[in-house]
Chains A and B, each alone.
Chain A
Amino acid sequence: DAMVIQNPRYQVTQFGKPVTLSCSQTLNHNVMYWYQQKSSQAPKLLFHYYDKDFNNEADTPDNFQSRRPNTSFCFLDIRSPGLGDAAMYLCATSRDLTGGASGANVLTFGAGSRLTVL
């Protein structure tokens, strides 16, 4: 089945120790997104890639970076995790940014990576 796979599912890191979360997709979608979801809150968009074009949300801290080396993979790098960065990180993909009735902009989510910062 075509899907979005996130690794690791659970990541424990120490305060200030860099961490990388990965996302892969077999859907051949153009757009890949990273969301941060803190406990009992809505997912918050950090950034997205449309193909190789990177789009950062205005309020995403510089501590968060992303790489998309090819269509299938996208990485979230947290350079110096703080206690406030503990959250579930969700990767999602869509065929396009817009789509209306075609459904091209419908997001498919991975199962998430839960980050704990000690």
Chain B
Amino acid sequence: AQSVTQPDIHITVSEGASLELRCNYSYGATPYLFWYVQSPGQGLQLLLKYFSGDTLVQGIKGFEAEFKRSQSSFNLRKPSVHWSDAAEYFCAVDTDKLIFGAGTRLAVHP
């Protein structure tokens, strides 16, 4: 069965530090992969998506993610975190429907 695993439930970083959020998926074919961000009390906003081609994809707000087929991973990165990046981040895989990981809650220290 298709699944998405986000190993880190909570991550805390200092403002200006780099960030990497991990995501592993289980799916037999080439997946469509997404990262969404959810601010408290809000809906989900698409950060970036991977369908095919270049394995390094750029998204909004300075985020990028790299698809690594050999590791079944799609990790999200940002070189310098801002306080406004504090939110919950969801990785998702699209098979015939969108399946979300459990999310990683990011806290940013000043």
Contact = CB atoms under 8 A, between A and B. Distances in A.
Nearest to B98: A107
A71 to B, nearest CB: 20
A43 B102 contact: no
A106 B45 CA distance: 11
Contacts of B100: 42-43
Given A45-B97, A90-B43, A114-B41, A105 B32 contact: yes
Contact of A109 (B44, B52, B97): B44
Contact of B96 (A6, A97, A107, A110): A97
Contacts of B94: 105
A16 B94 CA distance: 35
A97 B100 CA distance: 16
Contact-residue bracket for chain B: 20 to 34
Contacts of A108: 46
Interface in A60-118: 90, 92, 97, 100-101, 103, 105-112, 114
B71 interface: no
Contacts of B101: 42
B103 A112 contact: no
Which of B44, B53, B101 gathers the greatest number of chain A CB atoms within 10 Å? B44
B83 interface: no
B51 A101 contact: yes
A42 B90 contact: yes
Given A97-B96, A106-B46, A42 B103 contact: yes
Interface string B23-55: 000000000101010000111111001011100
Interface of B: 32, 34, 36, 41-46, 49, 51-53, 90, 94, 96-98, 100-103, 105
